């Protein structure tokens, strides 16, 4: 791994199946650490970093190259929390920690139906969680020792995860 020693604050990737609590966790963590929260979905919409709409999956077809170009400078500075339900297309050197949130199936099912997900979109996401797709993707894309799987079933889990990650950020030191 190429360690970028230029950044004085760490970059964290928060990933996981939709509904596992990435945005909730990232928002709270940004507040407690003063790191910058980057919600990739929002960025893609705001800056049109996509190649149109996927009717079947009901989401934008993200243009991964445009997203990476857009973020390169800011990631080099450090101090970012990146929030996205995918992780294999970001440069490995960007991140000091990759957090994979995981939620029990029945809990996730309720969250996604509340969000209005039905049919294939609902089933795909539940299967994504059952087969631990994001954890596997993270382990394949980043050094195993920076990947951290965290349970996100309850509010107590969020509180504990924020405390753990805030401690980690406070203790983080750039490698020389």
Give the annotated binding-site residues for ATP: 19, 21-24, 115
For ligand ADP, which is the closer residue by CB, 107 or 146?
Answer: 107
Judge whether 117 and 109 are in contact, CB under 8 Å: no
| Terminal C-alpha separation, the chain | 14
Question: Of 157, 166, 172, 174, which lies in the binding site for ligand ADP, with binding defined by CB under 6 A?
Answer: 157
Sheet holding 80-83, edge to edge: 36-39, 80-83, 12-15, 97-102, 147-151
* Alpha carbon distance 176, 173 (integer Å): 9
For Mn ion, which is the closer residue by CB, 107 or 174?
Answer: 107
CA 75 to the chain's CA centroid: 14
Instruction: Using CB under 5 A, count the residues that bind Mn ion.
Output: 2
Considering only residues 13 through 72, tell me which ones interact with Mn ion, judged by CB under 5 A: 22-23
Question: Of 4, 9, 23, 132, which lies in the binding site for ligand ADP, with binding defined by CB under 6 A?
Answer: 23
Question: Of 9, 24, 66, 74, which lies in the binding site for ligand ADP, with binding defined by CB under 6 A?
Answer: 24
């Amino acid at each position: 791994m190429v360690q970028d020693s230029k950044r004085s604050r760490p970059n964290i990737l928060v990933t996981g199946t939709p509904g596992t609590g990435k945005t909730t966790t990232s928002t709270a963590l940004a507040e407690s650490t003063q790191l910058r929260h980057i919600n990739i979905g929002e960025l893609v919409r705001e800056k049109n970093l996509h190649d149109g709409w996927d009717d079947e999956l009901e989401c934008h077809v993200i243009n991964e190259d445009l997203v990476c170009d857009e973020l390169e400078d800011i990631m080099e500075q450090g101090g970012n929390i990146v929030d996205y339900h995918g992780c294999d297309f970001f440069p490995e050197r960007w991140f000091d920690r990759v957090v994979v949130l995981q939620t029990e199936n029945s809990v996730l099912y309720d969250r996604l139906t509340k969000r209005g997900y039905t049919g294939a979109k609902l089933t795909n996401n539940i299967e994504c969680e059952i087969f631990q797709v994001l954890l596997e993707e993270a382990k394949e894309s980043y050094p195993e020792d920076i990947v951290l799987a965290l349970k996100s079933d309850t509010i107590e889990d969020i509180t504990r995860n924020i405390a753990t990650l805030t401690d980690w950020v406070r203790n983080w030191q750039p490698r020389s």
